[in-house]
Structures are given as C-alpha cells and as structure tokens.
Amino acid sequence: MNIANPSLIAELLLDRIALFSNAYAINLFQYARVILIALALLDLIRLGYDVWTSNQGPDAALPRLGRWILYMCAVAAIVQTSHQVGSGGDSIARYIYDVFREWGERASGTAGFTPASIFGEALEMADEIWLTMKRLGFWSNLLLLPITLLAILVVLGMMAGFAFLVFVFYFLFLEWFVALGLAPAFLVTAAHKWTAPIAESYVSYLISLGYRTLAIFFCYPVLTAFVTEIREWLSEGLALMRSTDPGTEGILAEFFPMLGGAAFAAWLCAIVITAVRAYANRVAPQGRVLNLGSVYESI
C-alpha cells in the first residue's frame, strides 16, 4: 500500500470501519434475540390485559391475537436479518443504505467515491508552492523570513480548508456505518407498543441520512472537478514564476495572490459542502416515516 496516497488511506479506514460495523451488529444480534422474546411476551401480556379490561369475547379476541401473531412474525423476520449489514446483507438498514448510495452514484455519474483524492490535489498544490519558495530563495534569505512565515500560514489555511471538505464527505459514511452497526438494537424495539417509537425514529434517521447522501453525491463530482482546475491554474502560475526571477516586488504582487486564491478556493468548497449538508438536513423528512403506533392500534 502506498502510504503517500490519501485516497488509499481513507478507503482503508472506511473498510475497517465497515468490517467492525458488521462484527458489532453480529454481537448485538445475540442480545437482540433475547430482547425480542422478552418484548414480545410483555406485549402479549399487554394485549391480554387490554382484551380482559375491554370485556371482549373470544369472537373479538381471537382475530386480535391472529393479527398480533402476524405482526410479530414480521418483526421477528426483520430482526432475524438485522445483523446482516455487510455488503450484500439482507438487513432493512443495509437495504436503505444501498438504495440511496446507488441512486447517488448513478445520478452523479461517479462509479467510485474517493473524496480523499481532493486532499491529494491539495498536497500537490502544497508541493508546488514549496518548490516555488525554494526556487525563489525563501529559505536562504533572512529578509524574506516574514514573507516565508506568512506564506506557510496561508498554505496551512488552504490545507485546513481542503481537509475540512474531505472530512465532511467521509463523516457522512461514518454515520452510516455506525447506524448500520446498531441496527439490531434499534429494530428489535418494534416488538412492543411502548418501545416501537424508538424503531420509528431509527428508520426516520436512516431516511434522513439517505437524503444527505444524495446531496453529497450531487456535490462530489462538481467539487472534485473544481479543485482539479484550481490545482492546474496554480501549477501553471507557479511554473511561470519559477522560470523567471520576479524579485521581492514580484513575489508580493504575484505569489501571494496565487496563495490567497488557492486558500479562498479551499474554504469556498468547505462552505459550499456545509451549506448543502445543512440544506439536505432541512429538506429531509423530519417526522416519522414509519407509524407503528397505528399498526398496534389496528391490532
């Protein structure tokens, strides 16, 4: 593995998180099966008490019991596959993730998702700036020390902007893998009327993550192409400066505007992705997309 390649490092981290998420869900599933039986028994007691206090006869009680059994069979089937959150898994949580990610990839025309390549472009820009500063004698002239320190600060600001952009991209998928790993603990709560709102909130959260995923895939090809163009422009300008000796006045008149433009581009991208993420949070469904309460009422 090439440790100098940010994309490979980021993909390795995501792969490890995905593997641990799958293992974590499997471990939780061992407890979820016991909780499922406990919640189902408690809900059966609740149903029996409701039938008894409402003075319903066998003609009304038996159909209610039949509907309850059908519902619990459906819940048991969902919980039984809740731990299968790995690639190709049958968990409903994994299905929601796969659907939204596939939609995003197809709509954006991206076959893969490697936002760390943006940070790779930033590293190339920093390397170009370093070579230019070395060529212009920044490190050997003490008179240029204040300018050198200022240039280093601007480059660090540029790198921070691109790093924040990449972090926002990857944090969304970190949220997904954490949510997938917790799937058994949340989905099992559908087995009782009083705990069903927890499962409802979990499914609503997954749908909200799905809308954020679509927004991220909308921005991804735009921002990657934009950063590539900025790197090319900066490389051309710095190459021209290295081929000539602009002097101190030329450095102040040409070099720093280039650095400032690169830093501005970095934080512009960071602001754009933050705004789009906030917009996706606002337009995503805020209420319940699953109403188990009405199902229990119909039973």
Mean of all residue pLDDT scores within the chain? 81
Segment 202-232, tens digit of pLDDT? 988 898 888 888 888 888 888 888 888 888 8
- 2 has pLDDT over 60: no
**Domain for residue 1, yes or no?**
no
Which of these, 24, 14, 282, lies nearest to 170 by C-alpha position?
A: 14
DSSP 50-89: HHHHTT--HHHHHHHHHHHHHHHHHHHHHHHTTT--STT-
**Domain for residue 265, yes or no?**
yes
Look up residue 293 and give its two tokens. 């309460």
In the chain, the number of structural domains is 1
Segment 69-98, tens digit of pLDDT? 898 888 888 888 888 887 777 888 889 888
**Domain for residue 133, yes or no?**
yes
Under a CB-based contact definition with an 8 Å cutoff, are residues 119 and 163 in contact?
yes
Angle between helices 116-135 and 256-283 (to 10 degrees): 170
- 25 has pLDDT over 80: yes
**Domain for residue 256, yes or no?**
yes
DSSP 228-285: HHHHHHHHHHHHHHHHS--HHHHIIIIIHHHHHHHHHHHHHHHHHHHHHHHHHHHHS-
pLDDT band at 62 (very low <50, low <70, confident <90, very high): confident
**Domain for residue 91, yes or no?**
yes
Model pTM score: 0.80
pLDDT band at 248 (very low <50, low <70, confident <90, very high): low
What is the domain extent for residue 59? 6-298
DSSP 80-104: HTTT--STT---HHHHHHHHHHHHH
Residue scoring higher pLDDT (176 or 147)? 176
- 106 has pLDDT over 60: yes
Q: Which pLDDT value is given to residue 215?
A: 85
